[in-house]
């Protein structure tokens, strides 16, 4: 028999970025709010303190801040003809763990989608005709427009402390910024960070070729900053320990330095760690939730936590899993195309060109996770989908993030992987390499989805989440297009050696090498309950007192890193809950 | 010979009589002052605010204890003093105190039973409190504070300090007239002076002690008042000299520091962080600005705020040295780059509100390096406040640096940029671990 705890107004599942934002918004409404976090509690000191956190083996290689597959994982297959197997060793993506979630160990890249990306289906049909859309592609509009979201993007950016350079202020093009971005009501809250040598070389080459380089926007402070909660960031020291690490320098925007100390002061907010939510409990008519059941790892018992409002703020994969095991939304069936929960899982398509220069020294140990110069000349709103034969786009960038000795030691192809030859390679090339990367869209397809695994169960007896995902021709054509453009820029830089890494036709998804932790979809937002789980306020169509934050809401992925969009959506949803839902709880759409 | 004997005898008798009188003749309470603010309401809510200004809670609450139930161990140079239970509990607290008896604790350091309180209770300063504030605080304690039955351990100092009657003599020598005297025609400065000299009892730490271990002046007529003191070996900064923060910071920056423990130049450390946490963050912005205005006035600075966060000066020799980062530079400089530079930067200026400047930092250049060494070894944490909720922490380095290394590092920061303080030896570091 599960323990039952006293009822709360709101229970929040997961205390990362969106959990902290929603916690604050609900607490400011005066509600009794409880956040349940499955991982450990974490804070800058002691958990990220210097120099302990700058331990590449512990955090960069052994993933100390990430979820452990032995306690939580999913199964993965590429095609329906394969048998999905558990993801037993982290590789392709790295879900975060503990208070702060992925906000602890991210790089800080914070983008808004292009306005066209939020209405991609309509935009594609209007511009290029319906026939441009491949049959197997689930191309959908987001049910909310850029103009509606703009104030919430702005709020998230100001809260999380973004350094950058606006390119479009209220429709006016600002030199030095991204001329292809959507309008901004105000400039970034901090000026852009200083750039490293490789980024400067790239930007100069891009400019000479007629492109429009601008500094990458990121949640890395370029100066002292105080946000709306009175929370503070200090200027970055370019130590290069961002991705996979917590920041010891109070410089990287994270739930800890941007929200949590302010939130913890609220007497009506509390949180529990080591509290792993197993399912959302529904009322008999399945139209409302009564609370959640979680496993309390401290006491070793199941707990029923009643609540009037359940807000899922776990990582995208876990939100989808929770909805599937709780019976929220009809599970997607690829055979019939019916059902919505788990439908439209998407990822991110990226590629890179590595260059080696005998006579250039890049000092790669100087860097930040958001370092770099970018061009958006081949972004989604600059591509002729009909002419190029794909729907999508990429931003292209260069700028070293770190020079860590184990994982950031690029060597020319053919260099021995160990021994004398390897040592000679390191001696010759360490610090002499730079790269250009592309970060691009990945559409959703009928045969890429999440469902419950028929074989494997987790420690609580729940079927594991199963991912069926493979690369699709459309996105491979997109990345090959980028390859052409990027190799031109690389050639312009006249390196001594150059090598490219892009998905080629027929490439199969490989879960072993790290690619990106931008897993999206599965709880898509949309107007039509037949093709989406959530409405435009991230509220479950079927269960009105369940809201789900995060990138699961993306009907297909954008070309950018997802945090800016999911952060804006979180404030957008919170606004709807505060100003409308709480007055009259119901389906808002 | 007989005459001499007689005189000695008379002397002894007189001494016995005086001592007997000191011990047994009841002390007169300092009378109440006139209620000089006839229009102001005396309410428990006001009393709570006055309590915050006087920071009663910090000393009268034990770690993990009930608010105001006493029992906190206060380390004094004479030994451990236990704070008293000041909840309205009738057996163990002050529930049976009349207003006059309550006032006597604040003005004269007297318990209801006539025994003298040790001057860890800052009655040297609290006796400047207005009658309206005293009455309001009495209302607050009697009406709003929950009674807690908690018998605290009796303070047991060594002889002769356990002879509480001796404090009567001390009081006779030390205590000044119990009335706050306006210092200026400016109402804001006067309000600041009242708070500083009276309830907030800044002088208890920021003034030096005289040969009687009393505060060397409790109002600004005394030249030593607020010129810096010593707490547990930490040098407490001067608040009125021309190089003091009162002269260098703008009143805005000073008020922000009081409310949050941080400003563009510095962050609070040691006991001051507790004062911000338990007292000053609860003051109105007007009162913190009044304190700041008084301190500016006191420093004689006509143009407050000679220091600006951005004050761009030519790079110092230290900045050039650290920027070159030549591996042959001194151990202190290398330790600075490896442990401190990421936040405090090569120019020693840190960053506004988050990384305190070390160039010109009062803790860094203090006569006693104790505070600096303590922070290097054990780190520091800022209080979470309403305006600035982030409990910013600097981690400690005790596990990472040897005594010699700490000494080298402390010496380096004490003598770099514009700092010209004395060297630190490893022997000073060891006992602070």
Cβ within 8 Å, pair A45-B351 = no
Residue with tokens 């090498």, as numbered in its chain: A513
Is the distance from CB of B247 to CB of B304 less than 8 angstroms?
Answer: yes
Q: What's the confidence (pLDDT) of residue B38?
A: 62
Averaged pLDDT for residues B104-112: 95
Cβ within 8 Å, pair A261-B353 = no
Same domain, B157 and B264: no
Is the distance from CB of A113 to CB of A560 less than 8 angstroms?
Answer: yes
Of A336-350, B152-166, B228-242, highest mean pLDDT: A336-350
Give the Cβ contact number of residue A86 at 10 Å. 17
Q: Calculate the average pLDDT of chain B.
A: 93
With vertex at residue A345, the alpha carbon angle to CA A344 and CA A348, rounded to the nearest 5 degrees, is 120
Cβ within 8 Å, pair B342-A239 = yes
Rounded Cα gap, residues B277 and B55, in angstroms: 10
Domain C-terminal end among B298, B326, B342: B298
Cα nearest neighbour of A264 on chain B: B389
pLDDT bucket at B7, cuts 50 / 70 / 90: confident
Beta-carbon contacts of B261 under 8 Å, excluding residues fewer than 6 positions away, are: B267, B268, B272, B273, B276, B277, B281, B382, B383, B385, B388
Give the Cβ contact number of residue A67 at 10 Å. 22
pLDDT bucket at B75, cuts 50 / 70 / 90: confident
Rounded Cα gap, residues A507 and B351, in angstroms: 49
Same domain, B28 and B126: yes
Domain C-terminal end among B236, B267, B298: B298
DSSP secondary-structure letter at B431? G
- pTM for the model stands at 0.95
Mutation pick from A46, A161, A163, A235 vs chain B, by most beta carbons of B within 10 Å, is A235
Q: Is residue B182 part of a domain?
A: no
Q: What's the confidence (pLDDT) of residue A482?
A: 98
Domain, as residue range, for B215: 187-298
Domain count across chain B: 3
Rounded Cα gap, residues A232 and B256, in angstroms: 15
How much of chain A, in percent, has pLDDT values that exceed 70?
Answer: 100
Determine the distance in angstroms separating the CA of B46 from the nearest CA of chain A, rounded to an integer: 23
Cα nearest neighbour of A223 on chain B: B351
Q: What's the confidence (pLDDT) of residue B4?
A: 80
Same domain, B159 and B238: no
Q: What's the confidence (pLDDT) of residue B178?
A: 87
- The torsion angles phi and psi of B430, rounded to 5 degrees, stand at -50, -50
Same domain, B63 and B137: yes
CATH no. for residue B342? 1.10.760.10
Averaged pLDDT for residues A105-122: 98
A256 a catalytic residue: no
Rounded Cα gap, residues B53 and B50, in angstroms: 5
Averaged pLDDT for residues B133-151: 97
pLDDT bucket at B312, cuts 50 / 70 / 90: low
Same domain, B170 and B200: no
Rounded Cα gap, residues A353 and A415, in angstroms: 17
Same domain, B41 and B151: yes
Beta-carbon contacts of A215 under 8 Å, excluding residues fewer than 6 positions away, are: A163, A164, A165, A176, A192, A193, A195, A372, A373, A374
Active-site residue, from A256, A518, A541, A544: A518
Q: What's the confidence (pLDDT) of residue B307?
A: 62
Domains of chain A in sequence order:
1-132+246-346+444-470+518-589 (3.50.50.60), 165-215+349-440+472-508 (3.30.410)
Cβ within 8 Å, pair B353-A46 = no
For residue B394, list chain A residues with Cβ-Cβ distance below 8 A. Answer: 45
Same domain, B140 and B204: no
Is the distance from CB of B390 to CB of B382 less than 8 angstroms?
Answer: yes
Averaged pLDDT for residues B334-355: 96
Q: Is residue B233 part of a domain?
A: yes
More confident residue, A344 or B310: A344
Instruction: Please give the ipTM for the structure prediction.
Output: 0.94
Cβ within 8 Å, pair A229-B389 = yes
Q: What's the confidence (pLDDT) of residue A286?
A: 95
Cα nearest neighbour of B346 on chain A: A237
Q: What's the confidence (pLDDT) of residue B161?
A: 85
For residue B388, list chain A residues with Cβ-Cβ distance below 8 A. Answer: 226, 230, 232
Same domain, B238 and B356: no
Q: What's the confidence (pLDDT) of residue A216?
A: 98
Tell me whether the omega of the peptide bond preceding residue A515 falls within 30 degrees of 0, making it cis: no
Determine the distance in angstroms separating the CA of A239 from the nearest CA of chain B, rounded to an integer: 8
CATH no. for residue B224? 1.10.760
> Cα-atom radius of gyration of chain B, to the nearest Å?
24
Same domain, B214 and B157: no
Q: Is residue B304 part of a domain?
A: no
Rounded Cα gap, residues A107 and A232, in angstroms: 18
Q: What's the confidence (pLDDT) of residue A161?
A: 98
Instruction: With a cut of 80, say whether residue B125 has pLDDT above it.
Output: yes
Size of interface A-B (CB pairs under 8 A): 62
Using DSSP, state whether B204 is helix, strand or coil.
helix
Tell me whether the omega of the peptide bond preceding residue B134 falls within 30 degrees of 0, making it cis: no
Averaged pLDDT for residues B228-243: 93
For residue B386, list chain A residues with Cβ-Cβ distance below 8 A. Answer: 230, 265
Averaged pLDDT for residues B288-295: 97
Instruction: With a cut of 90, say whether residue B19 has pLDDT above it.
Output: no
Instruction: With a cut of 60, say whether residue B304 has pLDDT above it.
Output: no
Burial class (CB within 10 angstroms; exposed 0-12, middle 13-18, buried 19+) of A447: middle
pLDDT bucket at A363, cuts 50 / 70 / 90: very high
| Concatenated DSSP letters of B402-422 | -HHHHHHHHHHHHTSTT--PP
Considering only CB atoms, A230 lies closest to which of B379, B387, B394, namely B387
Cα nearest neighbour of B351 on chain A: A224
Mutation pick from B338, B351, B401 vs chain A, by most beta carbons of A within 10 Å, is B351
Cβ within 8 Å, pair A230-B384 = no
pLDDT bucket at B163, cuts 50 / 70 / 90: confident
Mutation pick from B342, B378, B379 vs chain A, by most beta carbons of A within 10 Å, is B342
Q: What's the confidence (pLDDT) of residue B311?
A: 57
Rounded Cα gap, residues A558 and A224, in angstroms: 31
Cα nearest neighbour of A231 on chain B: B390
Same domain, B365 and B284: no
Q: Is residue B310 part of a domain?
A: no
Q: Is residue B179 part of a domain?
A: no
Q: Is residue B404 part of a domain?
A: yes
Instruction: With a cut of 80, say whether residue B310 has pLDDT above it.
Output: no
Q: What's the confidence (pLDDT) of residue B287?
A: 98
Q: How far is CA B110 from the centre of its chain?
A: 22
Same domain, B160 and B92: yes
Using DSSP, state whether A520 is helix, strand or coil.
strand
Same domain, B47 and B132: yes
Is the distance from CB of A394 to CB of A403 less than 8 angstroms?
Answer: no
Rounded Cα gap, residues A189 and B265, in angstroms: 22
pLDDT bucket at A247, cuts 50 / 70 / 90: very high
For residue A44, list chain B residues with Cβ-Cβ distance below 8 A. Answer: 393
Cβ within 8 Å, pair A235-B351 = yes
Domain C-terminal end among B140, B174, B208: B174
pLDDT digits (tens, 9 = 90+) for A136-151: 999 999 999 999 999 9
Cα–Cα nearest to A225, from A233, A235, A217, A214: A233
pLDDT digits (tens, 9 = 90+) for B376-420: 999 999 999 999 999 999 999 999 999 999 999 999 999 999 999
Cβ within 8 Å, pair B390-A249 = no
Rounded Cα gap, residues A94 and A268, in angstroms: 32
For residue B389, list chain A residues with Cβ-Cβ distance below 8 A. Answer: 229-231, 261-262, 264-265
Instruction: With a cut of 90, say whether residue A560 has pLDDT above it.
Output: yes
Considering only CB atoms, B390 lies closest to which of A46, A249, A257, namely A257
Mutation pick from B390, B396, B399 vs chain A, by most beta carbons of A within 10 Å, is B390
Determine the distance in angstroms separating the CA of B177 from the nearest CA of chain A, rounded to an integer: 42
């Amino acid at each position: 028999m599960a323990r039952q705890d006293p009822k709360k107004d709101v229970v929040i599942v997961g205390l990362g970025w969106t959990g902290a934002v929603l916690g604050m918004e609900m607490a400011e409404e005066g509600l009794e709010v409880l956040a349940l976090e499955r991982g450990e509690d974490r804070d800058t000191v002691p958990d990220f303190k210097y120099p302990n956190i700058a331990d590449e083996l512990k955090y960069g290689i052994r993933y100390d801040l990430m979820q452990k597959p032995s306690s939580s994982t999913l199964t993965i297959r590429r095609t329906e003809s394969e048998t999905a197997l558990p993801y037993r060793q982290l590789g392709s993506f790295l879900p975060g763990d503990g208070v702060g979630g992925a906000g602890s160990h991210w790089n800080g890249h914070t983008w808004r989608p292009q306005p066209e990306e939020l209405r991609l289906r309509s935009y594609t049909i209007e511009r290029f005709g319906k026939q441009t859309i491949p049959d197997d592609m689930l191309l959908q509009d987001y049910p909310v427009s850029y103009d509606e979201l703009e104030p919430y993007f702005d709020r998230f950016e100001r809260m999380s402390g973004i350094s950058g350079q606006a390119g479009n202020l209220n429709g006016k093009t600002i030199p030095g910024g991204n001329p292809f971005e959507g309008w901004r009501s105000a400039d970034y809250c901090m000026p852009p960070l200083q750039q490293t040598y490789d980024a400067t070389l790239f930007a100069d080459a891009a400019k000479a070729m007629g492109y429009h380089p601008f500094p990458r926007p990121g949640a890395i402070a370029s100066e002292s900053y105080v946000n709306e909660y009175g929370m503070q960031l200090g200027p970055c020291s370019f130590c290069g320990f961002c991705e996979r690490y917590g920041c010891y320098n109070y410089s990287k925007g994270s739930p800890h330095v941007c929200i949590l100390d302010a939130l913890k002061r609220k007497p009506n907010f509390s949180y529990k760690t080591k509290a792993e939510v197993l399912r959302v409990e529904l009322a008999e008519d399945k139209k409302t939730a009564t609370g959640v059941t979680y496993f309390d790892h401290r006491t070793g018992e199941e707990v029923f936590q009643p609540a009037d409002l359940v807000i899922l703020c776990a990582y995208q994969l876990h939100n989808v899993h929770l909805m599937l095991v709780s019976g929220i939304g009809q599970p997607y069936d690829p055979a019939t195309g019916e059902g919505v929960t788990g439908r439209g899982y998407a990822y991110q398509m990226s590629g890179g060109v590595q260059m080696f220069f005998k006579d250039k020294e890049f000092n790669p140990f100087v860097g930040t996770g958001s370092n770099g110069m970018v061009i958006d000349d081949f972004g989604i709103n600059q591509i002729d989908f009909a002419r190029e034969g794909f729907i999508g786009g990429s931003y292209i960038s260069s700028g070293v993030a770190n020079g860590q000795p184990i994982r950031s030691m690029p060597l020319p192809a053919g260099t021995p992987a160990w021994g004398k030859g390897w040592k000679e390679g390191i001696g010759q090339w360490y610090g002499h390499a730079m790269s250009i990367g592309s970060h691009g869209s990945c559409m959703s397809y009928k045969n890429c989805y999440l469902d419950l695994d028929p074989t494997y169960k987790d420690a609580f007896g729940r079927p594991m989440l199963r991912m069926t995902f493979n690369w699709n021709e459309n996105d491979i054509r997109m990345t090959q297009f980028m390859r052409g453009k990027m190799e031109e820029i690389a050639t312009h830089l006249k390196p001594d050696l150059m090598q490219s890494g892009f998905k080629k036709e027929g490439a199969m998804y490989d879960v072993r090498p790290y690619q990106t932790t931008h897993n999206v979809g599965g709880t898509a937002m949309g107007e039509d309950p037949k093709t989406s789980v959530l409405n435009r306020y991230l509220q479950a169509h079927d269960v009105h007192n369940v809201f789900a934050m995060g990138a699961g809401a993306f009907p297909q992925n954008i070309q950018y890193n997802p945090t800016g969009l999911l952060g804006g959506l979180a404030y957008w949803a919170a606004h709807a809950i505060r100003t409308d839902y709480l007055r009259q709880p119901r389906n808002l759409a | 010979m007989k005459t001499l004997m007689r005189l000695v005898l008379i002397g002894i008798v007189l001494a016995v009589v005086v001592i007997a009188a000191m011990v047994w003749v009841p002390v007169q309470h300092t009378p109440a002052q006139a209620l000089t603010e006839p229009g102001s309401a005396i309410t428990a809510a006001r009393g709570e605010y006055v309590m915050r200004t006087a920071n009663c809670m910090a000393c009268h609450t034990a770690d993990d204890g009930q608010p105001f139930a006493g029992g906190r161990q206060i380390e004094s140079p004479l030994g451990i003093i236990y704070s008293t239970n000041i909840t309205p509990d009738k057996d163990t607290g002050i529930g049976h105190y009349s207003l006059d008896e309550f006032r006597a604790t604040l003005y004269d350091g007297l318990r209801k039973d006539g025994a003298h309180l040790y001057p860890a209770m800052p009655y040297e300063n609290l006796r400047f409190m207005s009658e309206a504030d005293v009455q309001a605080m009495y209302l607050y304690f009697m009406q709003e504070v929950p009674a807690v039955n908690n018998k605290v351990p009796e303070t047991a100092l060594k002889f002769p300090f356990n002879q509480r009657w001796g404090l009567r003599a001390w009081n006779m020598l030390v205590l000044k007239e119990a009335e706050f005297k306006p210092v200026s025609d400016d109402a804001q400065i006067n309000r600041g002076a009242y708070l500083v000299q009276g309830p907030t009892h800044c002088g208890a730490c920021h003034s030096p002690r005289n040969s009687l271990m009393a505060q060397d002046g409790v109002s600004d007529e005394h030249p030593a008042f607020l010129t810096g003191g010593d707490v547990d070996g930490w040098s407490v900064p001067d608040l009125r000299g021309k190089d003091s923060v009162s002269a260098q910071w703008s009143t805005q920056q000073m008020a922000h520091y009081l409310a949050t423990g941080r400003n563009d130049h510095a962050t609070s450390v040691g006991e001051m962080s507790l004062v911000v946490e338990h007292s000053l963050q609860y003051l109105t912005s007007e009162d913190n600005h009044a304190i700041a205005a008084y301190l500016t006035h006191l420093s004689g600075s006509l143009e407050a705020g000679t220091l600006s966060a951005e004050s761009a000066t030519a790079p110092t020799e230290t900045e050039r040295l650290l920027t070159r980062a030549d591996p042959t530079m001194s151990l202190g400089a290398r330790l600075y780059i490896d442990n401190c530079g990421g936040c405090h930067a090569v120019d020693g200026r840190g960053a506004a509100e988050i990384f305190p400047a070390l160039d010109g930092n009062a803790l860094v250049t203090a006569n006693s390096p104790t505070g600096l060494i303590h922070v290097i070894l054990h780190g520091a944490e800022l209080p979470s406040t309403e305006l600035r909720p982030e409990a910013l922490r600097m981690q400690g380095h005790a596990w990472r640096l040897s005594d010699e290394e700490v000494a080298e590092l402390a010496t380096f920061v004490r003598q770099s940029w514009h700092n010209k303080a004395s060297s630190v030896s490893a022997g000073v570091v060891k006992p602070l671990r």
